[in-house]
Amino acid sequence: MQTKHFVICAVAALLAVGCCKPAGVIKTPVPTRPAGQQDVIGLTAEPIETVHIGVVGLGMRGSEAVNRLAQIPGAEIVALCDLLPDRVEQSQAILAGRGKPAAEGAYSGAQESWRGLCEQENVDLVYICTDWLNHYPIAMYAMDCGKHVAIEVPAALDMDEIWGLIDKSEQTRRHCMMLENCIYDFFEMTTLEMSQRGLFGEIIHAEGAYCHNLDPYWDEYWNNWRLDYNQKHRGDVYPTHGIGPICQVLDIHRGDRMTTLVSMDTKSFNGAKIATNHAGKEVTEFANGDETSTLIRTEKGKTMLIEHDVMTPRPYSRMYQVVGTDGYASKYPIGEYCLRVDKPADKVDARHISDEKVYRDEEMEALQAGYRNVILTPEFEELAKSVGGHGGMDFIMDYRLVYCLHHGLPLDMDVYDLAEWCCVAPLSRVSLEHGSMPVEVPDFTRGAWNRVQGFSYALAEE
Ligand SMILES: NC(=O)c1ccc[n+]([C@@H]2O[C@H](COP(=O)([O-])OP(=O)(O)OC[C@H]3O[C@@H](n4cnc5c(N)ncnc54)[C@H](O)[C@@H]3O)[C@@H](O)[C@H]2O)c1
C-alpha cells in the first residue's frame, strides 16, 4: 500500500516539475562537405628531406619549443616570429647557443607579421605557440600558403574554427596537427600498449582532467590573455590534455565515436578574486566556473569524464584513469594498475572487499617493462628524458612530428583528433547554458569514423 502511494506521489511530483517530458538532446549542426573534397584519414604528403620550421609565438612555450626543435635530427628552424621583437632576439640566442644558424627574424612588431613567415618559401611547417585567439588565423593562412601546421593546445576555440580547420586541411591536403604532448607521456604510452594488447579486457570508461593551480602563472602570460579568456568564457576551456590520451585508448574515430556530452560547473568562487587582484579593481563577473565536469558517451556505449580546475590548490592531475572489464590503470593521484584475479569460488574470502591484484612502485615498473611502447626504444627514451620538456614527452612529440614529415607518413594526430579534443570547450558551454542538457557531439570525419580500427603509429620501413 505504502509503495503504491509512493509511486503515485512520485509521478505527481515529476509531472508538477515537468520531468516526464522526454529528454531532449541539443543538436549540433554538421556543415556539408563541399563537393570534390575528401577526408584526410591517413593523410600522407610528400617526404621532406630536412623539415624547415617557422615558429610563431615565442613566449614561455614557444621559446621552449625552439630549444627542443633545435635538437631534433632532420629539423631546422628557419624563421621566427613574435609580436615582441625582443622575444625573437631571445630565441635567436637559443639557436646560437645550440650552434645553429640564425633564422629569418624579420617577423615582429605588428599583429600580422606572421603572414611573412607563412609566405617564406623554404618554410615547410608553421609551428604555432601564440595565445589561443591567434591560433586559428595563423593556421588558416599557413595552410593557404601550402604549409603544414602544428598548433599548440587548444588549437581551435569554437565550432566555426574547428570546422574551418577541418575544411582547410581537407581542401589543401596539408597536415593540421594539434601539439597535444600528453599522449607521449611514458605512463600513457605504456598503458596504451597494455590496453591494445588486451591486459584490461575491453575498455569501458576513462577519465581525464586538467587540474592545475595556475596562481604562479597568471601574471606571466602576454597581455593577460589567459585570465581574460577564462573571465569571458564558461565551459571546459582547456580539455585537450585530459581527453587526448583517453580518446586514443578508446579508439575514437578509429572504431568508436563520441555521441553526446553533458556538463556541470560550480560558480566562480576564486576566479573573480584572482581577476580582482590582477586588475587592481573589483571584478564581479567571471564566466568560468572553478570546477567544470563533463561526461561523454560513445557510440559503443562507453563513457568518459573530463574535469577542469585551474583555480584551486587541488594537486596537479590529468587523472588518466582507464577502466576495463578486467583491469584498471591510474596515473593520478597515484600511479597504479589493478588486474582481476581469477580464483576458484571456494577460495574467495568473503571478508575481503575486493579481489584484484594491485601493482604499485617496483611491481608496477616490472609490469610496465613487459609492455614497452613500439616507438619507445630504451635509447630513444633516454634521449627524450635528457632533452626534457615535461619529462621528455614534448621532445617525443616534436621528434614524431618531424620523423613522420620526413618519411611522408601519416602523423600520430590528425585534424579530427584536434576537432574531437577541442570541441569539449564549445559544446560543454552549450550544455551549461542550457541547464546541463545533453549536447550532440558531431562526427567530424563526416562518415569515416569506423574505417580505421584502433590507433597505431606509422613507421618507416627500414
Ligand atoms: N602543451 C603544453 O603543455 C602547454 C604548456 C604551456 C602552454 N601551452 C600553450 O602554448 C600556447 C602559448 O602559451 P604561453 O604560455 O607560451 O603564453 P605566452 O603568453 O608566454 O606566449 C604567447 C606569445 O605569443 C605572442 N603573440 C601574441 N600575439 C602574437 C601575434 N599576433 N603574432 C606573433 N606573436 C604573438 C606573445 O608576444 C607571446 O610571446 C598556448 O596555446 C598555451 O595553451 C601548452
Confidence of residue 118 (pLDDT cuts 50, 70, 90): very high
Kindly state if the Cβ of 223 falls inside 6 Å of ligand 1: no
175 vs 11, which has greater pLDDT?
175
**Beta-bridge partner residues of 298:** 258
Q: Tell me the average pLDDT of the chain.
A: 93
Map grid coordinates 500500500 to a residue.
1
- In the chain, the percentage of residues whose pLDDT exceeds 70 is 92
**For residue 196, what is its C-alpha cell?**
591494445
pLDDT at 352: 58
Cell numbers at 372, concatenated: 614497452
Cα–Cα distance, 397 to 184 (Å, whole number): 6
CA–centroid distance, 124 to ligand 1, in Å, is 21
Architecture of domain 183-373+415-440: 2-Layer Sandwich (3.30)
Q: Is it the case that residue 15 has pLDDT exceeding 70? A: no
Please check the confidence at residue 83 and state whether its pLDDT lies above 60: yes
What average pLDDT score do residues 411-431 get? 98
User: Measuring from atom 27 of ligand 1, which residue has the nearest CA?
Assistant: 130
Kindly report, residue by residue over 256-314, the tens digit of the pLDDT: 999 999 999 999 999 999 999 999 999 999 999 999 999 999 999 999 999 999 999 99
Ligand 1 atom 39 nearest Cα: 59
Whether pLDDT at 247 is above 70: yes
- 108 CA distance to ligand 1 middle (Å): 15
In residues, how long is the chain? 462
Query: If residue 191 lies in a helix (H) or strand (E), which one and from where to where?
Result: helix 186-196
Pair 218, 278: CB distance under 8 Å: yes
Q: Is there an atom of ligand 1 within 6 Å of 134 CB?
A: yes
What's the confidence (pLDDT) of residue 462?
73
pLDDT digits (tens, 9 = 90+) for 189-201: 999 999 999 999 9
C-alpha cell at 90: 631571445
Give the number of the atom of ligand 1 that is nearest the alpha carbon of residue 108.
33
Does the Cβ of 221 fall within 6 Å of ligand 1? yes
Report the separation in Å between the CA atom of 31 and the middle of ligand 1, taken as the mean of its atom positions.
30
**Residue whose C-alpha is closest to residue 339's, from 354, 348, 352, 326:** 326
- Among 10-14, 203-207, 262-266, 431-435, the range scoring the smallest mean pLDDT is 10-14
Residue range(s) occupied by CATH 3.40.50.720 in the chain = 51-152
According to the model, what pLDDT value does residue 348 have?
55
- Which whole-number Å values give the CA distances from 66 to 56, 81, 123, 193, 277, in the listed order? 10, 11, 15, 30, 33
What is the C-alpha radius of gyration for the chain, rounded to an integer number of angstroms? 24
Q: SS3 for 271?
A: helix
Evaluate the omega torsion of the peptide bond into residue 333 and state whether it is cis, within 30 degrees of 0.
yes
Q: Are the C-beta atoms of residues 164 and 142 closer than 8 Å to each other? A: no
Q: Which of 60, 68, 130, 223 to mutate to test the pocket of ligand 1 (most atoms within 8 A of CB)?
A: 130
CB 274 within 8 A of CB 288: no
- The pLDDT, as a whole number, for residue 406 is 98
pLDDT value, residue 345: 59
Is it true that the peptide bond before 31 is cis, omega within 30 degrees of 0? no
Nearest C-alpha neighbor of 156 from the set 165, 143, 148: 165
Say what the pLDDT of residue 353 is. 59
- Locate CATH 3.30.360.10 in the chain: 183-373+415-440
Which strand (E) or helix (H) includes residue 196? Answer: helix 186-196
Query: At 3, is the pLDDT very low, low, confident or very high (cuts 50, 70, 90)?
Result: very low
Return the number of other C-beta atoms located less than 10 Å from residue 335's C-beta. 17
Nearest to 302 by CA among 236, 354, 264, 249: 249
Instruction: Average the pLDDT over 326-336 and give the result.
Output: 97
| Residue 128 CA, ligand 1 centroid: distance in Å | 8
The residue-averaged pLDDT of 124-139 equals 98
Angle at CA of residue 401, ends 400 and 406, nearest 5°: 95
pLDDT surpasses 50 at 21:
no
Cβ atoms of 134 and 57 within 8 Å: the answer is yes
51-152 CATH, one of 3.50.50.60, 3.40.50.720, 3.30.70.20, 3.10.290.10: 3.40.50.720
What average pLDDT score do residues 428-455 get?
98
**Model confidence at 341, in pLDDT bands (50, 70, 90)?**
confident
Q: How far is the CA of 86 from the centre of ligand 1 (A)?
A: 15
Q: What is the pLDDT of residue 22?
A: 47
Nearest CA-CA partner of 56 in 103, 121, 97, 101: 103
Nearest CA-CA partner of 48 in 174, 212, 159: 174
Q: How far is CA 294 from the centre of its chain?
A: 15
pLDDT digit string (tens) for 285-297? Answer: 999 999 999 999 9
Answer yes or no: is pLDDT of 347 > 70.
Answer: no
Q: Where are the alpha helices (DSSP H) in 281-409?
A: 361-369, 378-387, 393-407
Residue 225 has pLDDT above 50, yes or no: yes
How, if at all, do strands 75-82 and 51-56 pair? parallel
- Alpha helices in 303-392, H assignment, sequence order: 361-369, 378-387
- Residue 134 Cα to ligand 1 midpoint, Å, equals 9
From the list 42, 43, 52, the residue with the least C-alpha distance to 402 is 52
Instruction: Tell me which of 111, 152, 177, 236 to substitute to probe ligand 1's pocket, judged by most ligand atoms within 8 Å of the beta carbon.
Output: 152
**Beta carbons within 8 Å of 32's beta carbon, 6+ residues apart:** none
